[in-house]
Chains A and B, each alone.
Chain A
């Protein structure tokens, strides 16, 4: 795909287009495979979701959904911090004021097992939300079409409902942003996403099978009876956030809240989601996780600098840190403070000035027409984190390819400095 030179990537243009064939799975180095799941792009050839293949969204549609998710994140933080004016502004952009969580349109999926006997369920992989839920029989109100058979609690010997008076039920307030309800002493959860998608159902306990050797009893999850929205053919969501109801928190006794993943380079290849620290490479470089006020479920990070083509951009750390920063597996395009994005775009365009530009693609305003080239050279981009950690972005993470005649810089700016 690319050969790295000093400060740029040389890319064969033909390799920008994704393959229609699923390639062999990725494996983490030194992996104890007992605790590892495959991560698959929802819309790629490795996905087994037929509904998704038949209705693959365009890149423009994916970017519109991504913008909805980002507005939902900003809206959630603003609401929790009491920034009423910001909420009014977002409400004007057709966002629901009551956004319990984020839009459920993440691009990556994993398969887990639930119940006894175990039933496999393909769930959307999301570090930006907390509770795990799946559609459940008898679908008292509504279920959308999914690839896997819908989970049936009555067919499982290890299923039990959670009572309204339990501490777990009370915890739903912080995990979903909504107060739980009560039906015949059974705790009822409700989670609404930024695009108005939602799931409502019984809060329950069940045996969770991550791999054949890694099984957890009494895993708390949502057994959805009324589920509507943009979940495609997935059976629900896997919540990997920081709340105590998230999967990493519920499995903390075994895995100590440690998990890792690798997102594949293209939709035609696979990545992994691994729990625990067995087999972690010593070459992993660590920075500090922080907490964003009002957004305690998010994984906060501190980005202090950026470079393009080996040269650091002249952006002060205070601008990059102004609104805080998070890392999110469900947001497609990295959003930068407006000033930082302007500096990145200026430097990138300057080093790409030999290529003809193309029309913008949704939120992406720096696009190129590579149709007359067999290879192109693009500047390397790096992010710098606290504790001296430099993360070079892979060539596949710098460009977002709609077609060879519309290849875009895969970054965007926030609307406001304070976002």
Chain B
């Protein structure tokens, strides 16, 4: 598998929605 690791996730807000089976991203999520 391709694995999207944590270095590339830095500063993004990563949203897991297990009920809707969706994954969200927002840049600048830590500020």
Contact = CB atoms under 8 A, between A and B. Distances in A.
Interface of A: 26, 28, 66, 70, 73-74, 77, 106-108, 127, 240, 242, 248-249, 252, 256-265, 269, 271-272, 277, 280-281, 283-290, 292, 295, 298-299, 301, 303, 320, 323-337, 340, 383, 385, 389, 391-394, 396-398, 400, 410-411, 414, 419
**Among B21, B25, B27, residue most surrounded by chain A Cβ atoms (within 10 Å):** B25
Contacts of B25: 284-285, 287, 385, 389, 391
Given A284-B26, A285-B25, A385-B25, 6 more contacts: A74-B1, A258-B18, A281-B13, A326-B3, A334-B4, A397-B8
Interface majority SS (helix, strand, loop, mixed), chain A: mixed
Given A242-B18, A257-B17, A261-B14, A419 B23 contact: no
B2 A303 contact: yes
Interface residues of B, number: 29
Nearest to B9: A263
B23 to A, nearest CB: 5
Given A107-B6, A285-B25, A324-B2, A258 B19 contact: yes
A414 B5 CA distance: 13
Nearest to A323: B1
Interface of B: 1-19, 21-27, 29-31
A28 B30 CA distance: 6
Contacts of B21: 288-290
A285 B24 contact: yes
Contacts of A277: 17
Given A284-B24, A286-B23, A73 B1 contact: yes
B21 to A, nearest CB: 4
A286 B1 contact: no
Contact of B1 (A262, A326, A392): A326
A262 B16 contact: no
Contacts of A330: 6
Given A262-B13, A281-B26, A284-B26, A332 B19 contact: no
Contacts of B11: 262-265, 394, 396-397
Contacts of A301: 4, 23
